[in-house]
Amino acid sequence: MNDATITKTQMQAFRDQLCWEEKSPGTMEKYCRDVAAFAAWLGERPLTKDAAGAWKAALLAGGQAPATINAKLAALNRFFSFLGRPELRVRPLRIQRRLFRDDSRDLTREEYDRLLGAARALGRERLALLLEAICATGIRVSEVRYLTVEAALAGRAVVRLKGKIRTILLPGKLCRKLLKYARKQKTASGEIFLTRSGRGLSRRQIWAEMKSLCARAGVEPTKVFPHNLRHLFARTFYRVCRDVAKLADVLGHSSIETTRIYLISTGAEHAGTLERMGLVC
């Protein structure tokens, strides 16, 4: 095969393949966005392994975080495999396992409560209930559509995503709130969180609605996004049960290593551990 540049036809075919594989909307969007960024950077130059390596170097020189670069390379390598050109694949950066995390973007329980208070004060009943539903169950934003009247009645939601099926238990208090809201909206069956036109809420709309609470709640916008509610759920769940394997199952992670990322201690906690060791005389 010649070293032709990336075409729009290839990009669309790649998106179709991801859809066929039942990748989540968020995953599809990210993979396609990263490949499109590489294509724009490549321009009319030939598609070669050297070019892919040069993009990796450019990202690093541009000051992007190693984890971000590796995520982009993962998308690009997936695209190369789809094209049937595995020889173009680029090795990711080698990153030492993190011992502690930067907690500046962590959403605290107190900030979560302020977001709920802001939503209720603004009369945003649907949004307040949505925040509670995500934070109380740890579901992904792409899984909100599985919160149905039937699920609330049964006390559990069956999620079918990424080729996997898992059951999410719903707290009794949440079920009662969901059913009360559904009755108020005259929703007898199916999805509970709907737009005025009766469609399911999109990922983008959920993000935008959450961001709209930041000023009123006094919470930094960088902390307010759906996945941070999932992180708050994970940290709270682990403090209660101390079982990382069980948490991985609840979150739908294939690898415990993914779950571990959610539980890395903060820099302040790590520093406190070093101080308690008392090895500096």
Which residues form the catalytic set? Answer: 140, 162, 227, 230, 253, 262
Number of Cβ atoms within 10 Å of the Cβ of 221: 12
Show the tokens assigned to 137.
Answer: 């169950």
d(CA 161, CA 27): 11
Helices marked H in the chain: 8-20, 25-42, 49-61, 66-83, 109-121, 125-137, 149-154, 172-184, 203-211, 214-217, 226-241, 244-251, 256-263, 267-277
- Residue pair 175/164 in contact by the 8 Å Cβ criterion: no
Query: 195 near 201, Cβ under 8 Å?
Result: yes
